[in-house]
Amino acid sequence: MELTIFILRLAIYILAFPIYLLNFLGLWSRICKKCFPYFLARFTVMYNEQMASKKRELFGNLQEFAGPSGKLSLLEVGCGTGANFRFYPPGCRVTCIDPNPNFEKFLIKSIAENRHLQFERFVIAAGENMHQVADGSVDVVVCTLVLCSVKNQQQILREVCRVLRPVSERGGAFYFMEHVAAERSTWNSFWQQVLDPVWPLLFDGCSLTRESWKTLERAGFSKLKLQHIQAPLSWEMVRPHIYGYAVK
């Protein structure tokens, strides 16, 4: 099996050589940063159609974490095009963070389509360093299809805990929905391993083989509600999913 994976990876390396060359020259990242938002805008329409019931289930109790004012303060990390906005409760105050400034015009469109929300600001930053967001300042942090591509999962979860409302004030919550590594010894796992070296170049840093649930389990949340599912998606490579929420 390992030899087969090696041979197939080698074939993919050869086929994708122009991309690797552009990446080595520092050009591919610029191209990807500009083009990826257009791809994601199309992908998230399909994703939301196929995952709508799961997203409604996931975000159904968001309002329970609202602060004393009754208004929910929400930070979305890796907001992309704003695909989650329609699932947030009315009056929710939303701050968005994403390292790619090219998403801003897509966010503006999503904001216009979701007038039930109170949009506060768009911060251009990586989730591993959200110094623009004050300690203990938000009720909820949301992260969907992001842990697959961040450089340091442990650091982003430390930042999430920092910005969430403190335990002394009934602790904030972290909501997640992520594609993850398939179960070992399955064909899906086999193809994930074959494609994983080139996948991040094609999809802005995304990895197919991360076992993100293990990082969440070690993050030190007081409560973790996590489910594994096979998502009803067209792309078999990203069907293995986890979703749920964790309380600080």
pLDDT score of 167 more than 80: no
Question: What's the rounded Cα separation, in Å, for the pair 164 and 166?
Answer: 6
Strands 73-77 and 140-144: parallel
pLDDT tens digit sequence for 10-19: 899 898 898 8
Least confident of 3-7, 37-41, 93-97, 115-119: 3-7
H-run or E-run covering 19: helix 17-24
Mean of the per-residue pLDDT values for the chain?
93
Question: What's the rounded Cα separation, in Å, for the pair 58 and 243?
Answer: 7
Q: Which residue has the tokens 């591509």?
A: 149
Neighbours of 26 (CB within 10 A): 8
Query: What are the structure tokens assigned to 147, written together?
Result: 């842990």
Q: Minimal CA–CA distance to 84: which of 145, 168, 23?
A: 145
Question: What's the rounded Cα separation, in Å, for the pair 139 and 122?
Answer: 17
Find out whether 91 and 118 touch, Cβ atoms under 8 Å.
Answer: yes
Going along the chain from its start, the domains and CATH numbers come out as 1-247 (3.40.50.150)
